[in-house]
Structure 1
Amino acid sequence: MSRTLEPVRRPGRLGRRVAARRSPDLVPGRAPAPPSSPRLVLTVTSAGSLPLMRGFPQHLQRAGWDVHVVTGPGPDLDALGDVVGGVHAVPMRRDPSPLEDARALAAWVRLLRRLRPDAVLAATPKAALLGLVAARLTGVPVRVYHLWGLRLETTTGLLRRVLTLTERATARAATRVLSVSPSLSAEFAGAGLAGRRPVDLIGRGSSSGVDTQHFDPSLVRLSEVRQAARAARLEPDRFVVGYVGRITPDKGLGTLDEAMRILAEDGVRACLLVVGEEDVAGYDPFTVHHVHRAGRVADPRPYYRLMDVLCLPTLREGMPNVCLEAAAMEIPVVTTTATGAVDSIADGETGLLVPPGDAAELARALRALHHDTALARRMGAAGRRWARTHFSRPELWAGHDQYLRRQLPKEGNDR
């Protein structure tokens, strides 16, 4: 069952009052939250995932929550120390590891006993499993599994069985499941992973929306675009197909490589601009000529400006942020009908959808935008309007705030 919850624009009244408590490992000098603030724990497995929710913890802190962020150690976690109620490093391994997982679970239980939060919002598989099981063991009343994706979709054999069991265990430990896209909600519920729990959705989905004030093509200076072109050694007078993201098999990059080969054979003067870094050691799917690698960049906006089209040939997603960013930057998007990706564009309006793994169809979609520049411009302009209408961060964040508050026990009730 999938339930859609529309964003609420105005923040409501605070939930029940809780005593203000401070963990001894908080960053010194931070002002404590007001005594009336409900305490919320946000968690993802790796600190490297925190940029995906940039600004969200701070928004909830300003909205009246006492926010504590828990991830593995890293500079992205440390950077939050002065703007939220607390940051806590719990090392968590992404892959199954019984001994390390047991140690992490024990650390989680100790942490939650000390913090005594009113709610836990947990994303990414390992952090969600450990954080929500620990939250259930310690009596946290509101335990929300923030479903960002379904890793098991692209696995087989024993690993798939293990991941299926862990997804079911995570949902069982949660009081609610909150998905980031309609198709992911349907996939999770349809596979029987949610049990009897509803799979909720706020608006059109997304983990954190897109900052359309930041991702605005008018704010990127021409000098920045030229500098990015030089850094990537981009060739002039070529149709630029862009990819932004991790270099990993789940992104379908082998299909993109084959589609670029087909374009070259058809006489299309195209090149591939790759923005991102290797996620799987030794994995390099690109064999065609005219591949330009920018690596990981601090600001992708000048690189978006270099692209004629963004291509995400993915095999699975939750809700791909890069598609929303490209749309906000007025770049047409070609992606697949895979879970999550299918919800990230308006097919025929802001971009084109193709079946995952189909290089011929992918090449056909890219060729269509190469041949019809007017269509590409219309899709780019429509993409920005669409991103601003459906994925505005202020509205989405307010929706999350209200969603969490609705789950809190009534004032005066015991846990």
Structure 2
Amino acid sequence: MASIKIVHVTTVPQSLFFLRGQVGYMKERGFDIHGISSPGEFLSRFAEQECVAVHPVDMPRRITPLRDLVAVAAIWKVLRTIRPQIVHAHTPKGGVLGMVAAWLARTPVRMYHMRGLPFTTASGWKRVLLIWSERISCGLADQVFCVSASIRQVALEAGLCRSEKIAVLARGSGNGVDAAQRFNGTQVASSVREETRRRYSIPADALVVGFIGRIVRSKGIVELAGAWTRLRDAFPQLHLLLVGPYEPQDPIPPEVDAGLRQDPRVHLIGEEWNTPPLYAAMDVLALPTYREGFPNVLLEAAGMMVPVVATRVPGCVDAVQDGVTGKLVPPYDSEQLAAAVKDYLGDPELRRRHGAAARDWVLREFRPQGIWQAIHEEYVRGLRGKGLLPEEHHASENRNSEASTPSRA
């Protein structure tokens, strides 16, 4: 079993951290894990933290045909050197580059993890190109995994993949959420909340609406800014905490950016990966996104007992039980977003009740081990299908498995 090699392909190295814990799980079961992604500090950090080999290949996130061909050739060269039995590619751009290169390298088992569908908010030639890139990824993959049932439905309706080839693992999500330890709102001391607020000049007695994600138009920042203007006067003690990097590919309008930056009660703190203290400082999390695959922040907030307001779009509908663990509102609607947030701001008991229900839900349905077990079973199934692993190994692993979550939904 030690000779079985798996190569994960992502466009940006930050995405490799969505495999936190999963890499160790697979290594314990005898797999040799490699990563291919764009070069940078995060790729080196992933290699150091997970003790795996990584291979830098420049992969622009934008559509750049000539540079993409160069990237495919570079990935193919790495694969021909490593000669893995499995290539597991993630995200739209990493998926098509990884699947094409793996097909050219004749990798026996090719798996594509559909973590989002950008074409749903694109138009014109870009939409057509994005749809066809997904069809190529799905066509060249032996198996396609979707992070949510709603994304699977969109993929089927768009004709991206045959229904028998595309599956949702366990209850969905990219990697589950560690609500038992890392995102455990029951174990956070009040001093953490107070210290985090003090660090960002937020009063201890303030109400805080938080956002964690990229500061881009498609995450609903324009609508969030619109909701903020409706809420800030109604709640003089309210503050807005925005966590995440700006990205030039999908910028917010300059006037929206200026309005946020100039408001003393808006706190733009940039990218921060140590998020549990930030959730602890929040009273409500808002995610007015236009599209998602399965938003991790909603599960993390749930583990931290923070109620959420998100949009009723694919991905979010799988991560929020409307009226139980949070609220869902229509996308592009700052008025309804403000109204839902206002309900929470004015009702501490509702915040407490929905936060507690959210934590119970993620502990029950989104344990990381359930996802890891399901992926491991798919690896074994794929290897057996190509005659690369004896059936006895599969039976042994099933007997020794500690997770009880169904492997497919």
Q: What CA deviation, in whole Å up to 9, does each residue of 1:180-234 have, x standing for no partner?
A: 0111110111111114653201122111111111111244344433332122211
Aligned with residue 122 of structure 2, among 133, 146, 155: 155
The residue that corresponds to 1:190 in the other structure is 157
SS at match of 1:404: helix
Aligned with residue 387 of structure 1, among 362, 378, 384: 362
Amino acid at match of 2:315: G
SS at match of 1:357: coil
Cα distance, 1:412 vs. partner?
A: 4.8
SS at match of 2:328: strand
Q: What CA deviation, in whole Å up to 9, does each residue of 1:359-391 have, x standing for no partner?
A: 111111111112221111011111111111111
Cα distance, 1:270 vs. partner?
A: 2.3
Q: Distance in 2 between matches of 1:202 and 1:313?
A: 26
Q: Does 1:295 align with 2:295?
A: no
Residues 171, 366 of structure 2: 8 Å contact kept: yes
TM-score (ref. length: structure 2)? 0.88
Cα distance, 1:340 vs. partner?
A: 0.5
Residues 351, 379 of structure 1: 8 Å contact kept: yes
The residue that corresponds to 2:63 in the other structure is 96
Q: Distance in 2 between matches of 1:85 and 1:242?
A: 34
Aligned with residue 50 of structure 1, among 16, 20, 37: 16
Residues 152, 167 of structure 2: 8 Å contact kept: yes
Residues 142, 165 of structure 2: 8 Å contact kept: no
Cα distance, 1:328 vs. partner?
A: 0.1
The residue that corresponds to 2:336 in the other structure is 361
Q: Distance in 1 between matches of 2:134 and 2:320?
A: 27
Q: Does 1:134 align with 2:109?
A: no
Residues 312, 329 of structure 2: 8 Å contact kept: yes
Residues 315, 336 of structure 1: 8 Å contact kept: yes
Q: Distance in 2 between matches of 1:198 and 1:214?
A: 34
The residue that corresponds to 2:170 in the other structure is 203
Amino acid at match of 1:189: L
Residues 175, 197 of structure 1: 8 Å contact kept: no
Q: Distance in 2 between matches of 1:195 and 1:100?
A: 30
Amino acid at match of 2:211: Y
Higher RCO (CA-CA < 8 Å; seq separation 6+): 1
Cα distance, 1:66 vs. partner?
A: 1.3
The residue that corresponds to 1:41 in the other structure is 7
Q: Distance in 1 between matches of 2:386 and 2:348?
A: 58
Residues 320, 340 of structure 1: 8 Å contact kept: yes
Cα distance, 1:266 vs. partner?
A: 4.3
Residues 330, 384 of structure 1: 8 Å contact kept: yes
The residue that corresponds to 2:140 in the other structure is 173
Q: Distance in 2 between matches of 1:240 and 1:413?
A: 54
Question: Over aligned residues, Cα RMSD in angstroms?
Answer: 2.0
Give the number of the structure whose residues are more often helix, by fraction: 2
Question: 1:213-224 residue pairs with structure 2 within 5 A?
Answer: 213-224=181-192
- In structure 1, runs of 5+ residues without a counterpart are 1-16, 18-33
Q: Distance in 2 between matches of 1:374 and 1:413?
A: 56
The residue that corresponds to 2:42 in the other structure is 76
Cα distance, 1:413 vs. partner?
A: 6.1
Q: Distance in 2 between matches of 1:165 and 1:96?
A: 12
Q: Distance in 2 between matches of 1:362 and 1:73?
A: 38
Q: Distance in 1 between matches of 2:277 and 2:53?
A: 34
Q: Which segment drifts farther, 337-346 or 58-67?
A: 58-67
Amino acid at match of 1:149: G
Q: Does 1:61 align with 2:36?
A: no
Residues 247, 280 of structure 1: 8 Å contact kept: no
Q: Does 1:119 align with 2:90?
A: no
TM-score (ref. length: structure 1)? 0.86
Amino acid at match of 1:308: D
Q: Distance in 1 between matches of 2:174 and 2:69?
A: 28
The residue that corresponds to 1:31 in the other structure is none
Q: Does 1:310 align with 2:280?
A: no
Count of residues in Structure 1 that have an aligned counterpart in Structure 2: 380
Cα distance, 1:94 vs. partner?
A: 0.9
SS at match of 2:99: helix
Q: Distance in 2 between matches of 1:87 and 1:367?
A: 46
Cα distance, 1:92 vs. partner?
A: 0.7
The residue that corresponds to 1:404 in the other structure is 379
Residues 194, 204 of structure 2: 8 Å contact kept: no
